[in-house]
Structures are given as structure tokens and as C-alpha cells.
Structure 1
Amino acid sequence: MTGPTSAPWVAVVGDNTVDRYLADSTVEYSGGNAFNVAVQLARLGVPVRYFGAVADDPDARIIERGLAVNGIPADDLAVLPGETAVTVIRLLPGGDRVFEREDFGVTADYYPDPAALEAIASADWVHLGMLPRASELRAELARRGSGTVSQDCAVAAGLDHLDVAFLSAGEGADAAALAAATAAEGVPLVVVTRGAEGALGFDGESTWVQQAVPTTVVDTTGAGDSFIAGFIARRVGGGGVADALAGGAAHAAETCTHPAGWPHPPETTVPTPNPTTPTTEETR
């Protein structure tokens, strides 16, 4: 268990994928909803562990390298029989992307084993990305008395035992109505992203509105994941909702300026894992 003076740390649970772009067959990127959030948190200096699954295949090496170059140990990757997830992406003019094909592979079968559950429950904040058994995990975390639990509700179902719900309304949607309906289900804080129209936060009483940060759009892949990471980073750092929304908007805008969900280095240099990232022993 981390000591009382240790920095708050985040457990990110869920999907990963190898992103392949139709227009560029020379580069294979590591990504996925949960994976991108974990990487972006690490890049923001937040101690983080990523819990997900890969197969024993060449694509798994791409996921492992993505963790390594961002200082996240691969110790919490489960290896399951099957294939590592792959997403084929086509970029549109202006940077919007279309998922031509999504093969979820072993991520569709992943659920944390007992040792992983123990570690996840000890985190100060747990974020769930795409996870087929998300409701089951939230219930288990509630039973164990875990810290704050958030979820990307665009890719994982259920609202019970949830502290922060991240929703995507898109431009032109009634984000306030969506937030109010979600809060009425018992979620203490609802965050709704609206693309170029910014984001909104609602806690059942107060509403916060955040404008989108102007940016040069190269690729919108991972912008929503980066918003979530920016928001969580500010919150675990002690910031309020308005500050967290601003952090999310700024980080999402930065992500739009480069290909893929995080800025992949051109070389394969792998640094030593982030010393602020809690190890398995430290969280027991």
C-alpha cells in the first residue's frame, strides 16, 4: 500500500489496440481508449499503472513498447490466447478520423485477475475505458472500498458505483440535458465533451462550461482520451472542476496537433520506467 506521503496514483483499466492508418503503412501506433488515457497521464507526470490484455503475438510488442517509452511498466499486462486488438483508421480532410475496422481481439475477454483486482482497488483513482464487464468491476471496487472511480461511458456501459462519468455528446447535442439525465441516475459528477464546442461539467447543482482550446488539427484520434487524462491529472492534483475542465481542454487540443493518440517518438529508445509509478509491491 502506498504510504500517506506518496503521490496519488491512478489505475487505468481496459482496452488497447494497434492503430494502423490506411494512408501510412510504415508506422504502427499503440493506442486504445484506456491505453491512451494511461499514457497521457504518465506524460503529465501522474503515477499510473495500466491493466489490460494482449496476446502472445508481434502486435503485443507494439503495445509493450508504447508503455515502455512512456515509463509505464508492462507488469500488469495479461497475456491471453487469441490476437492483440487492431484498429484500421482512415483520416478525413481536416483531421477527423473514421474507424474502418476494429478487431477488439483479447481485450474483449479481459477482466482483472485477483492480484490485479487487489492492486486496482488500492489506487487513489480508478479509470475504466472499454471493458465488457465494467459493471462487475465497479461493483467489486465498491465492495472493496476503492478510491474515486471514473469511466468513459462512450465505450463502457453502466452508471452504478461511479463517481465521475465521462460522456461524449458531439457538436450540436443538448449536453446539459444529457448531463442532467446522467446525474439523476446517481452519478455525483458528469463531464460531457462536445468536440469543437468544448465541454460541460455538472454535479447535480452546479454547471461548469469550458470552451474548446483553439488548435491546428492534424488528427483527432485520442483527443477525447487526452481530455479525460488532463481532467483526471488536475483532479488528483487537487484542482477543482473548472480547473480540471481547463486541463482537459488544453490537453485535447495538444493531441490534435500530431498523428495518433499520443506523440510517438521516431526512435525506439526506451527509458527507465517512471520511478513515481507504484510497483506491485508498493501497492500491496
Structure 2
Amino acid sequence: MKIIAIGDNVTDCYIEEGVYYPGGNAVNVAVNCKRNGAEKVHYLGVFGDDEPADYIKKCLAEEGVSYERSRKVYAHTAQPRVYLKDGDRVFAPGPRDSCQHLFSIKIGKEDLDIIGGFDICHTSCYSNLEYELPKLHEKCRISFDFSDRHEKEYLERTCPYLTFAFFSGSDMEEEECRELLKQVHKLGVKTAGVTRGAKGAIFYDGKEFYRQGIIKIHVIDTMGAGDSFIAGFLTAYADGKTMEDSLACAAQRSAVTCTFHGGFGHPHPYRD
């Protein structure tokens, strides 16, 4: 599989430990797809002009993820503050006016020509790319992480252009999940799923519902577990595996991510 991830890059700052980790949905998915064996992985985003941005680039290079089409702006990198409570992450706001908040990517013709060489383009509700989905849809299959967003107007705006849709719904009842998945399928999504934390995941391909339980493991940190699930599913499913095998792979990769700190490791000393 060849995948391009477009969107956010951040440094998740663990205040109590005094370290930060590279992250962001698009970055995490890109790195995990590469770790899962994807043939070619590219990240396209907006980098700041500070040391954390340089460190994220360094980590991407070490992981075999290219980023040369990314933009650089004169603003600091987004630095959400993270506290851990019983293994779960609790976020607090970081400094305001970061490059992630001030800028979004304008996809040009050269970008589209390059994107057309990939099998899947992954992005998310954090990437401010909703207005670019019609153009991206013409070039390759789109994977989209909605997180916990599923308001009707937003779904109608985005779903007609998507092949894969992922939602977070740990507080949703199973019937709510099923209705949501049927709704997005009617809007055009081919395959959609809701991850529900300890309750596992529910997926739908327009014909059948599939359930995937969690793999029990000693949890160190859940940061990036959902992104690892997405990457595990995409790499397996694009490789021709069945829905059941792809979901099993996704659960396994998600469990591994919970055994270390950060979205994919690479700790760096942090000063507030």
C-alpha cells in the first residue's frame, strides 16, 4: 500500500514527566502505516519554524516517512499539554496561535498530481481539509477520522467523498453506533467503524456489521491508540485481508501502542 497522510503535526507535552512526543492524527497514522509494512508513506502538513517542528521532521525521517511536500510557516508548533490519569490521557490547552491553528493547506495542482500516485489519502476533522475533499476524491480513496464529530450537517458535507470513515464513540450505545454507520454508508462511505475504547469496535461495510474486541494488555498510555487502530486496519485491508482479519490486525496494533508513552515513542526533553 502507498498512503499519504495530510493534516496535523503536534508535540504532545507530558508536563509531569518533563518530556514531549511527536504526534498528531496524520503523523501518527503515517508512521504506523510505515511500521505496518506500507510500501510508501508520505506526510503533508504545515510545520512551524521552531525546534519542535525540526524534531518532528527528524522523527519522520527516522521512521521512513517522507515530508518534502509539507509547508513551513513562521509560527510555533502546536503543543497540547497532556496529563495521565490511570493510563488515560487528559488534555489541557497549550500556547495559542500555533501554526496548526493559524494555517491550513491549500492543495495545488502539483500536490494533486503527487497524491494521485497513492492508494489512500488519510486526513481528519483536525486538518481543516473539508473544502479540499472533492478534489482529493478524484485522485484516490480517502480515509477520514471524525473523532467524536457526527453532527448531521458535517456528515453530509464530508461523507460523499470518503471510502473509509472512523469515529470515536466510547460513550455511545451499540444501537447508536449501528445507526451512525448506516447513516454514513447511505451518504457514500464504503466502510465505516466506531472504536469504543474498552468495548472494542463496530464496523459496517454496507452488508454486514462486524465486532472486534480489545486485546487485553497492561496499559501504559492510550495516546495514539486510535490512530494505530486506523493504520492497522488500512494497511491490512488494502493488502487484501478480510474485514475480520483487518480488524484483528488493527486491535493488535492498537494494543501495542498502549504499552509505551506517546503516539509512537521518540521522547524529547520538554521545558515549559
- Give the structure-2-normalised TM-score: 0.87
Answer whether contact 1:227 1:252 (CA < 8 A) is retained.
yes
Q: Could you list the per-position Cα deviations for residues 245-284 of structure 1 after superposition, in whole angstroms to 9, with x for gaps in the alignment?
A: 1111111111001001113278xxxxxxxxxxxxxxxxxx
Does residue 201 of structure 2 align to residue 181 of structure 1?
no
Aligned to 1:65: 58
**1:1-284 to 2 correspondence within 5 Å?**
8-25=1-18, 27-46=19-38, 47-93=40-86, 95-102=87-94, 105-108=98-101, 109-114=103-108, 115-142=110-137, 145-154=138-147, 158-174=158-174, 175-264=177-266
Deviation at 1:131, TM superposition (A): 4.4
Deviation at 1:215, TM superposition (A): 1.1
Q: Which moved more, 1:81-90 or 1:98-107?
A: 98-107
Unaligned segments of structure 1, at least 5 residues:
1-7, 267-284
Aligned to 1:270: none
Q: Counterparts of 2:106 and 2:97 in 1: how far apart (Å)?
A: 17
Deviation at 1:184, TM superposition (A): 2.6
Q: Counterparts of 1:83 and 1:265 in 2: how far apart (Å)?
A: 19
Q: Which amino acid aligns with 1:39?
A: V
Unaligned segments of structure 2, at least 5 residues:
none
Q: Counterparts of 1:85 and 1:265 in 2: how far apart (Å)?
A: 16
Q: Could you list the per-position Cα deviations for residues 192-242 of structure 1 after superposition, in whole angstroms to 9, with x for gaps in the alignment?
A: 111111111102221111111111100001000000000011012111222
Q: Which moved more, 1:180-189 or 1:208-217?
A: 180-189
Q: Which amino acid aligns with 2:25?
A: N
Aligned to 1:276: none
Deviation at 1:121, TM superposition (A): 2.9
Q: Which moved more, 1:201-210 or 1:222-231?
A: 201-210
Q: Counterparts of 1:98 and 1:104 in 2: how far apart (Å)?
A: 21
Deviation at 1:57, TM superposition (A): 1.3
Q: Counterparts of 1:244 and 1:76 in 2: how far apart (Å)?
A: 30
Deviation at 1:171, TM superposition (A): 4.7
Number of matched residues? 256
Q: Counterparts of 2:167 and 2:146 in 1: how far apart (Å)?
A: 5
The alignment yields a C-alpha RMSD, in angstroms, of 2.1
Which runs of structure 1 show a deviation greater than 6 angstroms over 4 or more consecutive aligned residues? none
Q: Which amino acid aligns with 1:117?
A: L
The 3 A distance-change label for structure 1 pair 167 and 137 is same
Q: Which amino acid aligns with 1:44?
A: N
The 3 A distance-change label for structure 1 pair 105 and 182 is same
Q: Which amino acid aligns with 1:248?
A: A
Secondary structure at 1:160's aligned position in 2? Answer: helix
Q: Which amino acid aligns with 1:19?
A: D
Q: Which moved more, 1:149-158 or 1:121-130?
A: 149-158
Secondary structure at 1:86's aligned position in 2? Answer: coil
- Give the structure-1-normalised TM-score: 0.84
Q: Which amino acid aligns with 2:37?
A: G
